[in-house]
Amino acid sequence: MQDADGKVLRFGMVGGGVGSFIGHVHRKGAEFDDQAKLVAGCFSSNFERTLNTGAQLGLDRSRLYRDHLEMAEKEAAREDGIDYVIICTPNYAHYAAAKAFLQQGINVVCDKPLTVTVEEAEELARLADEKGLLFGVTYAYSQCPAVKHAQQMVRNGDLGDIQVVVAEYPMGSLAAPVELEGKMPWRMDPQYTGISNCVGDIGTHVEHTVSYITGLEISELCARLDNFGGKNRALDTNAHILLKYKFGAVGNYWCSQVAIGYDNPLRVRVFGSKAAIEWCQEIPNYLIVRKLGEPPQLLARGHSYLYPEAGQMTRLAAGHSEGYYEMFANFYAKFNSALLKRKQGLPLTEEDLDFPDVKAGLRGVKFVSRCVESSKQGSVWLKFD
Ligand SMILES: NC(=O)c1ccc[n+]([C@@H]2O[C@H](COP(=O)([O-])OP(=O)(O)OC[C@H]3O[C@@H](n4cnc5c(N)ncnc54)[C@H](O)[C@@H]3O)[C@@H](O)[C@H]2O)c1
């Protein structure tokens, strides 16, 4: 089953060159548990840069490609071709790359937002389904043991009926017009980013983390997007979103990139009829639980009092911090294990497929589209589906 290196799956990357923000996080995550190995790539639209990245990562020159089309075709034709591709280019390029690999019968992991239009995301979901291929989307925050425990609490009825959700993702990264200094170059450009910057970039994380924990489905939303932080910015940097979910619960989300002094504290609070939970990405190893009539509890990752599903997602003893890399590793552990099982011809269970997938990616793109549309129309309530 294992190759000469003792690794099992082979993957390639489109985007994620040396110096990119998220590329190395994917590489570390995918290889964390020694189930997969990077063997190919088109790491940049500039071939020289792809060659440099490939050399730094010790890849064979023959498996470095000028573009995603050449890579998809040539890797599909090889006997030792990649089992899956990881796509972590700027948003606009996700769709074409994902489509090319699916068409060649290669499984896909793509970063969020999945695509820049709903139609593109729908097409990818359809193609993956038709071809019977695995398609993961790296909403990594949901892959944290404390978040898994929160999800299990909801599923087991520990919170009672969910009534209210409050979630926020404040960052200060675009509080000043840094794009004028050549920083974060593509993020404020609709050609590369799509119709939304703030909701697309971090609002999608809020949407997915809430959905993952609660299982709630949005029925309607009302959004106000603003382009604060610089003159003539074409895209949003702040969003307030009100939500109604199916079966009566309500919520509000705030995401901002002009929240001076904030780094990455994605925070989700869920209030049920019996108890409430609170989780924050900057202190990911802990979950606050508030039960009616009782003092608050602070649950810590790594203890046997957590649900076993959360225990399975942890590697270190309690008290040694796990964080961002481990969240990606948890995503890839599930994706790699599912793919290995499929390669052995075994059927996949719901548990095997418990990673954010193309349907979650499509829902995120829909969320972005509805928020932008609601805001454009003067912050009106819009049906989600
Ligand atoms: N899941 C998360 O938590 C998370 C975090 C950060 C970024 N992201 C997403 O990851 C993606 C990349 O973000 P980033 O911050 O790493 O961007 P980045 O600008 O730092 O890196 C982009 C990389 O893609 C390469 N690239 C650009 N166009 C390409 C093309 N046509 N073909 C091949 N390579 C190309 C660039 O050379 C660079 O290496 C975005 O979609 C972003 O939303 C997700």
| Residues 231 and 378 placed together within one structural domain of the fold | yes
DSSP character for 183?
S
pLDDT of residue 2: 56
Query: How many angstroms is it from 186 CA to the middle of ligand 1?
Result: 10
**Start-end of H helices in 15-117:** 23-31, 47-56, 68-77, 94-103
| Residues 15 and 68 placed together within one structural domain of the fold | yes
Largest CA distance in the chain: 65
CB of 148 closer than 6 A to ligand 1?
no
Using a cut of 0.85, tell me whether the model's pTM lies above it: yes
| Residues 118 and 255 placed together within one structural domain of the fold | no
Could you tell me the two tokens for 138?
Answer: 């790296």
| Residues 193 and 92 placed together within one structural domain of the fold | no
CB of 16 closer than 6 A to ligand 1?
yes
pLDDT of residue 184: 80
CB of 89 closer than 6 A to ligand 1?
yes
Q: Residue 356 domain-assigned?
A: no
Q: Residue 80 domain-assigned?
A: yes
| Residues 232 and 92 placed together within one structural domain of the fold | no
Query: How many angstroms is it from 16 CA to the middle of ligand 1?
Result: 6
CB of 20 closer than 6 A to ligand 1?
yes
Q: Residue 346 domain-assigned?
A: no
Nearest CA to ligand 1 atom 5: 22
Query: How many angstroms is it from 381 CA to the middle of ligand 1?
Result: 33
What's the CATH code of the domain at 216?
3.30.360.10
125: domain range?
A: 9-133
Total count of domains within the chain:
2
pLDDT of residue 3: 57
pLDDT of residue 182: 84
pLDDT of residue 5: 55
Q: Residue 141 domain-assigned?
A: no
pLDDT of residue 1: 43
pLDDT of residue 247: 95
pLDDT of residue 290: 98
Which segments of the chain have a pLDDT < 70?
A: 1-7
Helix 324-343 × helix 23-31 angle, to 10°: 50
pLDDT of residue 114: 98
| Residues 165 and 44 placed together within one structural domain of the fold | no
